[in-house]
């Protein structure tokens, strides 16, 4: 892992880039939640980021996250987001480990979450597979509305999340982010739900995502360095 002061320094740089992107698009920096994607990073790296002011962490694997949270139980005001695919058999542990599940992509999964965590309803985002890529999780854009209708009574749907197809250029990424925002606007109008959260943008493209309306960016390597293999 990187040294604690290096993590703090990189966190400061990312925060500045977020502030500049927000300013360029006449948005308030406070409207953008920085989530540190900490998969495969040791608990000490998360702790270093926390001590430098980070409060939101995103993990991909339920078991790894549960173990890390146990090691970091003293960080009481940290918020943990599940940003990786959730298998139904891990749902119970996931609802105990995370405050927000960003990767709901089927009615079956929403059912399992509600069964494990009926009250208060779990806060979730709907993961959208914008490129329709068969090897990626996420609901197709065309099926998002029926998923929202099936899941809205069971979980608290606060927005949409996406990992867009790899784009060669910033413009390519921008088109996907704009697409998610327009989809959100349409779904919010049709469902009457606010769907205020748009979780999009990672190390390579978080500034473009902010310009297109991201309210949550998930940044790993820019803060923690390359992930251990």
Ligand X SMILES: *Cc1c(COP(=O)(O)O)cnc(C)c1O
| Shortest reach from residue 218's CB to ligand X, in Å | 4
Of 74-103, binders to ligand X (CB under 6 A) are 83-84
Task: Return d(Cα 152, Cα 154) in angstroms, integer.
Answer: 5
Long-range contacts of 214-218 (CB under 8 A, 24+ apart): 214/32, 214/177, 215/31, 215/32, 215/33, 215/159, 216/32, 216/33, 216/35, 216/56, 216/81, 216/102, 216/159, 216/161, 217/18, 217/32, 217/33, 217/34, 217/35, 218/35, 218/37, 218/58, 218/81, 218/83
CB of 157 to ligand X, least distance (A): 18
Instruction: Select from 13-21, 131-139, 142-150, 213-221 the region that touches ligand X (CB under 6 A).
Output: 213-221
Is the separation of the CB atoms in 75 and 47 below 8 Å?
yes
Work out whether 215 is an interface residue with ligand X (CB under 6 A). no
**Residue from the set 9, 63, 115, 221 that interacts with ligand X by CB under 6 A:** 221
Compute the least distance from the CB of residue 39 to ligand X, in Å: 6
Give me the residue whose beta carbon is nearest to ligand X.
220
Q: Check binding of 202 to ligand X (CB under 6 A).
A: yes
Stretch that binds ligand X, among 44-52, 144-152, 180-188, 218-226 (CB under 6 A): 218-226
Q: Which residues bind ligand X (CB under 6 A)?
A: 37, 39, 60, 83-84, 163, 202-203, 218-222
């Amino acid at each position: 892992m990187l040294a604690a002061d290096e993590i703090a320094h990189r966190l400061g740089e990312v925060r500045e880039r977020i502030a500049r992107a927000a300013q360029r698009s006449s948005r308030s920096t406070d409207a953008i939640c920085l989530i540190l994607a900490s998969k495969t990073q040791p608990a000490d790296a998360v702790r270093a980021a926390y001590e430098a002011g980070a409060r939101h962490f995103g993990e991909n694997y339920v078991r790894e996250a549960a173990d890390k949270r146990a090691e970091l139980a003293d960080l009481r005001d940290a918020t943990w987001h599940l940003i990786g695919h959730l298998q139904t058999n891990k749902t119970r542990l996931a609802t105990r480990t995370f405050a927000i599940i960003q990767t709901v992509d089927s009615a079956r999964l929403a059912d399992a979450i509600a069964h494990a965590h009926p009250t208060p309803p779990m806060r979730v985002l709907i993961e959208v597979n914008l490129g329709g890529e068969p090897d990626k999780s996420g609901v197709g854009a065309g099926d998002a509305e029926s998923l929202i209708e099936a899941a809205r009574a069971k979980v608290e749907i606060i927005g949409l999340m996406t990992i867009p197809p790899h784009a060669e250029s910033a413009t390519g990424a921008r088109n996907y982010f704009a697409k998610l925002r327009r989809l959100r606007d349409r779904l919010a109008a049709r469902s009457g739900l606010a769907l205020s959260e748009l979780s999009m943008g990672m190390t390579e493209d978080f500034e473009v995502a902010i310009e297109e309306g991201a309210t949550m960016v998930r940044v790993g390597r820019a803060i923690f360095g390359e992930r251990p293999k």
